[in-house]
A and B are shown apart, each in its own frame.
Chain A
Amino acid sequence: QSVLTQPPSVSAAPGQKVTITCSGSSSNIGNNYVSWYQHLPGTAPKLLIYDTNKRPSGIPDRFSGSKSGTSATLGITGLQTGDEADYYCGTWDSSLSVVLFGGGTKVTV
């Protein structure tokens, strides 16, 4: 069981919006930046969001990140079938000095 908690799955119709939450604690999400990754099994994971709400070059603005207290959220608007993948949150835990990933959320469009 992961220290960072994500819902196992979310789904929505094409064109709609989904949000994925990532819950942690003050030693990780509460006091550190959060990143989000898109992963299709068998391929290299892709960084979608870094520093909680920044998008790397080439990532469309349909993807957004935010944080409130000890929870972070990834939003995906204008859902496309190509968005079907597993999504993971990640952050640093200052107390344990380790990197944490959430358990992953499968998005179905």
Chain B
Amino acid sequence: EVQLLESGGGLEQPGGSLRLSCAASGFTFSSHAMSWVRQAPGKGLEWVSSISGSADRTYYAASVKGRVTISRDNSKSTLYLQVNSLRAEDTAIYYCARGMATWFDLWGQGTLVTVSS
């Protein structure tokens, strides 16, 4: 089955760090660019970051640039998002999505990150 499964969310303290993971299955992971998109409570979708299939290109939203690193391990078909210096405004459901730029054709169920003391 073609699917994406996120993990790594939870309750984190402001200023802390976390790493989200997204395990892909059912397709050739290395052939696809991948992205992270988040949705804060009561808000719309917000693109966070994208990475090319070979990991030679990465892109970041201005709101997270400098605090976030996207990476991937094609041997494990896994996408990662490292978030540092966590802020309350990082509280959101984080979705892993297949694609980059103009469309995302496969999404995971999301993992909830709550930043609070």
| A24 contacts partner chain B, Cβ-Cβ < 8 Å | no
Give CA–CA (A90, B45) in the complex, Å. Answer: 10
User: For residue B44, which residues in chain A have a CB less than 8 angstroms away from its CB?
Assistant: 2, 86, 88, 101-104
Chain B interface residue count, Cβ-Cβ cutoff 8 angstroms: 23
| A91 contacts partner chain B, Cβ-Cβ < 8 Å | yes
Checking B46, B50, B62, B107 against A45 with a beta-carbon cut-off of 8 angstroms, the contacting residue is B107
Contact residues of B: prevailing secondary structure: strand
User: For residue B95, which residues in chain A have a CB less than 8 angstroms away from its CB?
Assistant: 44-45
Checking B45, B108, B109, B110 against A37 with a beta-carbon cut-off of 8 angstroms, the contacting residue is B45
In the complex, which residue of chain B has the Cβ closest to the Cβ of A36? B103
Asked if B109 and A50 sit within 8 Å, CB to CB, the answer is no
Closest chain A CB from B6 CB (angstroms): 10
B interface with A by C-beta (< 8 Å): 35, 37, 44-47, 50, 59, 61-62, 95, 97, 100-110
List the 8 closest A-B pairs by CB distance, nearest first. Answer: A99-B47, A35-B103, A50-B103, A104-B44, A44-B107, A33-B102, A92-B101, A101-B45
Given contacts A33-B103, A45-B95, A47-B106, 18 further A-B contacts (CB under 8 A): A2-B44, A37-B104, A47-B103, A86-B44, A88-B44, A90-B104, A92-B102, A98-B59, A99-B35, A99-B50, A99-B101, A100-B47, A101-B45, A101-B47, A102-B44, A103-B44, A104-B44, A104-B45
